[in-house]
Amino acid sequence: MVLNPVISKLAGKLVVLASASPRRLEILRNVGLRFEVVPSWFKETLDKSLFKAPHEYAVETAKQKALEVARRMPIKHLKTPDIVIGADTIVTVDGMILEKPVDKHDAYRMLSSLSGKEHSVYTGVAIVLCHEKENEEVDYQLIEFYEETKVKFADLSEDMLWEYINSGEPMDKAGGYGIQALGGMLVEYVHGDFLNVVGFPLNHFCKQLSLIYNHCTPSSDKESDSAHLSLNGTHAPSVLVHGSSSVPRPSSPSASQTNQTYSSPSASPVHKVKRKGSKSSQSSGALVNSLSKHTDGNEAKLQDSDNTPLPLITNSGQLIDRSVTENEDSQPKKEDLERISELLDGFKASKALFTASKLCVFDLLHRMPGLDAAQVAQEIKASVKGTECLLEACVSLGLLKCKERTYENSDLATRLLRADACFSLHGYIQHCNETLWPLFSHLESAVQEGHSQRERAFSNRTKDMLQGAFHNSPEAKLRFMNAMHSVAKVAGKTIATAFDLSRFKTACDLGGCTGAMACEFTKAHPGMSVTVFDLPAVVELKEHFQPLHTDSRVSFVAGDFFQDELPKADLYILARILHDLPDEKLHILLSKIVEASKPGCGLLLSEIFLDEDRGGPSRGLLQALSMSEGKQRSATEYSRLLKSHGFITKQIRHTDNLLDAMLCIKA
């Protein structure tokens, strides 16, 4: 392995990757490099027209990313890295630089321009070596290089283009494609380093590390300001960075500052940091073992491993005497600790609920109340110890009651948790356990990458939750339908009675699934008939919910509301549909409703409405963390969206139920 001779020399060093790219992380981890990830805050807004060649732009961006992290860490993290690695990958064709697409139409523009052509992929790489000196200043030594790979695309049809774009893969990839995944099907040939196209030129990087650690030594205070490393003629200039020690907190340079300060893309910034009260570089990595924020988020408390109080450091980098701001004998507020403890233990409570529901504990205790732990364990085929722990946890959560070591359901469990309850959430709980729990276990990756982790969580490429459910087993399909059925049963009556709908005689529930919501509408409005319009796979399975369908005013029509003609109706119902749709599909659906409806027709929207300032109940905001292609919105944002399609909002109802409601009329 090329890195093996260098690995031993990196042992004990703090190596930092200034990128959250999962591709770069995987490439470097696969060769055994140990490093921390500190994503750069540098805004990639450099003026491309100022660079003579595309690779100069990529190298300069990589350099600014790496330097921003190298400068920030001694101040914000109170530790100086030994090495910071920055990288930036771009695609160029016909003299244009293509970075990551901003939306699907941008992705289409990029991929269309690559169709049938050879293009270049450049990755600029910057390696910053940080030297902490005896006077507590930090010098930065810079090595930069780039790699070019030629890639030829096949001629792409419109269908192939949109099929690939709709897979979601292009959205976080330079040039709009990922060669290591589905995008590889678009490529005819590659000339050069394949991993460079993925996002990091590993071979070139390894050679540079070998040159650095086998042919040069760290700089000292006696070195000249113009000292350079000899890299045997490779394209990797190294600049020793010095300068004023009076800068209290380095910040990311803007594009204008960058262009003004540096006369050419290969020039390096001049900077030196002096950190008062810091420890030597050998111990800087262990300086801070505990970091907690005040409730106002403006300051951070620091404490050394021996409990010696350290200075406070604010978000602006200002050091404050701790004794001025806090009494040594003060204690955190009880309500603060309770709130944080509630959040810390929230996932444990959720899993306890999911497990008790999956093992049918609530159904068992409804049929046979007063069982002890051993009896429950025997019925659910589990260990006595594990069952007792689960039952006691459910008692603490208010889901069960315990009397003389025997258990029975609480009122809450009786009403909402047993499978046969009128307003049972059993189906949705199983959906949370089987689908959302695995999805949210990859939340760190979702936040770093900005898209859903369904592929990682479920080992398939289906990103649309509904379509994913209906391409899997019958059990998975029914589980998804049960989840939607649960929500519709609980929220249906509230939504159906939110407004006076007596003027509407026919309604169409788009994506109405099992018809539970439709039945609530016919119950609340005797003069109304409702057509449930959903995918054929949904309609085929409606027989599993047949006891619900005793009302002849509820009918089912199979179809795809993105492609097929919609049934005619006076009122269209959209419950839990729009929040999950990307803009392109959302506008297709709303346009089809406009086409099918007449002036005066109604549109009843039911979603979780966010507070206008995003400061209210968190359900919708937490739901957004699933990183679906859609978007959570406030009532005002939904009103604005519907108005753009000709529907005027008449009434908005924030309910105390799972969903809110809005009634709009076509102008």
pLDDT score at 573: 97
Which CATH number belongs to the domain containing residue 358 in this structure?
1.10.10.10
pLDDT score at 303: 39
Q: How confident is the model at residue 623 (pLDDT cuts 50, 70, 90)?
A: confident
Mean pLDDT of 143-160: 92
Q: How confident is the model at residue 46 (pLDDT cuts 50, 70, 90)?
A: confident
Full residue range of the structural domain in which residue 313 is found: 288-322
Q: How confident is the model at residue 353 (pLDDT cuts 50, 70, 90)?
A: very high
Is residue 300 domain-shared with residue 219, that is, in the same domain?
Answer: no
Residue 572 predicted with pLDDT over 70 = yes
Structure letter (DSSP) for residue 155: P
State the helix-helix crossing angle for 474-496 and 516-524, rounded to 10 degrees.
20
Residue 554 predicted with pLDDT over 90 = yes
On average, the pLDDT of the chain sits at 79
End of a domain among 421, 443, 465?
Answer: 421
Mean pLDDT of 261-284: 36
Residue 185 lies in a domain: no
Residue 53 predicted with pLDDT over 80 = yes
pLDDT score at 159: 87
pLDDT score at 613: 81
Q: How far apart are CA 388 and CA 386, in angstroms?
A: 5
- Strands of 117-217, DSSP E: 118-132, 137-153, 187-191
Q: How confident is the model at residue 540 (pLDDT cuts 50, 70, 90)?
A: confident
Residue 373 lies in a domain: yes
pLDDT score at 13: 86
Number of domains in the chain: 4
Structure letter (DSSP) for residue 154: P
pLDDT score at 591: 94
Is residue 521 domain-shared with residue 417, that is, in the same domain?
Answer: no
Residue 339 predicted with pLDDT over 90 = no
Concatenated DSSP letters for 292-332?
EE-TTSSEEEEE-TT--B--EEETT--EE-HHHH--TT---
Residue 446 lies in a domain: no
End of a domain among 421, 436, 457?
Answer: 421
Concatenated DSSP letters for 53-122?
SHHHHHHHHHHHHHHHHHHHIIIIIS---SEEEEEEEEEEETTEEE---SSHHHHHHHHHHHTT-EEEEE
pLDDT score at 325: 46
pLDDT digit string (tens) for 207-253?
888 888 775 544 433 333 333 333 333 344 445 444 333 333 333 33
Determine the Cα angle at 655 with ends 651 and 658, to 5°: 125
pLDDT score at 524: 94
Under DSSP, is residue 453 helix (H, G, I), strand (E, B) or coil? coil
* Nearest one of 538, 657, 647 to 606, comparing CA atoms: 657
Mean pLDDT of 383-389: 95
H or E element, residue 555: strand 554-558
Is residue 270 domain-shared with residue 292, that is, in the same domain?
Answer: no
Is residue 364 domain-shared with residue 508, that is, in the same domain?
Answer: no
Mean pLDDT of 565-584: 94
pLDDT score at 20: 84
Is residue 396 domain-shared with residue 294, that is, in the same domain?
Answer: no
Is residue 657 domain-shared with residue 563, that is, in the same domain?
Answer: yes
Is residue 227 domain-shared with residue 256, that is, in the same domain?
Answer: yes
pLDDT score at 291: 28
Is residue 401 domain-shared with residue 507, that is, in the same domain?
Answer: no
End of a domain among 397, 421, 445?
Answer: 421
Q: Which position has the token pair 């109080």? A: 309
- For 501, the token pair is 């709908």
Under DSSP, is residue 551 helix (H, G, I), strand (E, B) or coil? coil
Residue 451 lies in a domain: no
pLDDT score at 304: 38
Residue 108 predicted with pLDDT over 80 = yes
pLDDT digit string (tens) for 436-490?
898 898 898 888 888 888 778 876 444 444 444 444 567 778 888 888 999 999 9
Is residue 516 domain-shared with residue 374, that is, in the same domain?
Answer: no
pLDDT score at 332: 83
Residue 447 lies in a domain: no
Residue 448 lies in a domain: no
Is residue 369 domain-shared with residue 490, that is, in the same domain?
Answer: no
Structure letter (DSSP) for residue 164: H
Which CATH number belongs to the domain containing residue 656 in this structure?
3.40.50.150
Neighbours of 49 (CB within 10 A): 6
Contacts of 248 (CB under 8 A, 6+ apart): 317, 318
Q: Is 299 exposed, middle or buried (0-12, 13-18, 19+ CB in 10 A)?
A: middle
Is residue 27 domain-shared with residue 62, that is, in the same domain?
Answer: yes
Residue 42 lies in a domain: yes
Residue 168 lies in a domain: no
Neighbours of 24 (CB within 10 A): 22
For 241, list phi and psi in degrees, rounded to 5: -100, 115
pLDDT score at 77: 64
Structure letter (DSSP) for residue 442: T
Q: How far apart are CA 68 and CA 39, in angstroms?
A: 10
Q: Which residues are catalytic?
A: 88
pTM check: above 0.85: no
Q: Is 401 exposed, middle or buried (0-12, 13-18, 19+ CB in 10 A)?
A: middle
For 251, list phi and psi in degrees, rounded to 5: -130, 165
Q: How far apart are CA 81 and CA 164, in angstroms?
A: 40
Under DSSP, is residue 41 helix (H, G, I), strand (E, B) or coil? coil
Under DSSP, is residue 660 helix (H, G, I), strand (E, B) or coil? strand
Mean pLDDT of 81-96: 92
Q: Is 152 exposed, middle or buried (0-12, 13-18, 19+ CB in 10 A)?
A: middle
Q: How confident is the model at residue 12 (pLDDT cuts 50, 70, 90)?
A: confident
Neighbours of 367 (CB within 10 A): 11
% of the chain at pLDDT higher than 90: 46
Cα 541 to Cα 422, 480, 514: the distances in Å are: 21, 11, 8
Is residue 318 domain-shared with residue 350, that is, in the same domain?
Answer: no
% of the chain at pLDDT higher than 70: 77
